[in-house]
Amino acid sequence: MEYTSVFELLTAVLLSAQATDVGVNKATRRLFPVANTPQAILDLGIERLEGYIKTIGLYRSKAKHLMQTCRILVERHGGEVPRTRAELEALPGVGRKTANVVLNVAYGEPTMAVDTHIFRVSNRTGLAPGKTPLAVEMKLLQRVPAKYMNHAHHWLILHGRYVCLARTPRCWECAVAHCCDYQPKTKAP
């Protein structure tokens, strides 16, 4: 995603739920030149904000959450994005995954933001199997060496997007196929 500040990152990730990075970038390329601070978003008002992000799915609820988040940022945090998980998760529309992205990408914290790709790759390969994103996150935090933690979630997302695909994993292109638990299903002759 494209961003130039911690607030822009938070906004983009908040808007990205059930949307593609391409779609979010398309909307934020229009929004951020006009409003890229909590106060500027508040000054837009809900209707104008919706106009900028209407190409993203669930834009009305996302606009509402973003407006509420901006109000809290201005009133309780001096317009700044907080640096703790608890404060981030207290913002409307911000769950654990979004908080982890902000903590990792913006503040360099060793977190693991488990999205659908990381969940699939972790379970399929046996790297960190778990029934919930939180279970996978906890196992990844134990398995991934500290020196790789700040970049690991990006690497796993990319692996899931381009190699370990949901429907037809490209095992023949996979650099870790030799240590993967996945057994490709072969068609019977």
- Do 64 and 17 fall within a single domain? yes
- What is the total count of domains within the chain? 2
- Does a structural domain hold residue 14? yes
Instruction: Check whether residue 127 and residue 174 sit in a common domain.
Output: yes
Residue that is written with structure tokens 């404060």 in the block: 87
Domain range enclosing 123: 116-179
* pLDDT for res 90: 96
Tell me, yes or no, whether 143 lies in a domain: yes
Decide if 188 is inside a domain: no
Position 189 scores a pLDDT of 44
In terms of domains, do 49 and 71 share one? yes
Beta strands in 17-101 (DSSP E): none
Mind listing the pLDDT tens digit for each residue in 6-28? 999 999 999 998 888 899 999 99
Which of 18-22, 80-84, 133-137, 169-173 is predicted least confidently?
A: 18-22
What CATH number corresponds to the domain at position 149?
1.10.1670.10
The verdict on 132 and 167 lying in the same domain is yes
Same-domain pairing of 94 and 73: yes
Rounded to the nearest 10 degrees, the angle between the axes of helix 116-125 and helix 149-162 is 90
Task: Give pLDDT, residue 186.
Answer: 55
Is the same domain home to 170 and 127? yes
21-56 burial, b at 16+ Cβ within 10 Å, e below that, comes to eebbebbbeebbeebbbbeebbebeeeebbebbeeb
| Whole-number percent of the chain with pLDDT over 70 | 97
- 82 and 11 housed in the same domain: yes
What's this model's pTM, rounded to 2 decimal places?
0.88
Residue 100 and residue 39 in one domain: yes
136 shares a domain with 169: yes
The domain spanning residue 23 has which CATH number? 1.10.340.30
In a domain, 65, yes or no: yes
Three-point CA angle 107, 109, 112, nearest 5°: 120
- Among the listed residues 97, 131, 181, 187, the single catalytic one is 97
Q: Does 111 fall in a domain?
A: no
Residue 186 lies in a domain: no
Q: Of 68, 88, 106, which marks where a domain is finished?
A: 106
pLDDT at res. 30: 96
pLDDT higher than 90, residue 37: yes
The active-site residue out of 21, 26, 64, 115 is 115
Asked, for residue 38, whether it belongs to a domain, the answer is yes
pLDDT at 139: 98
Confidence of residue 98 (pLDDT cuts 50, 70, 90): very high
Is there a catalytic annotation at residue 115? yes
**Residue where the block lists tokens 């654990």:** 96
Establish if 89 belongs to a structural domain.
yes
Q: Encoding tokens for residue 120?
A: 């699939």
Residue 149 has pLDDT above 60, yes or no: yes
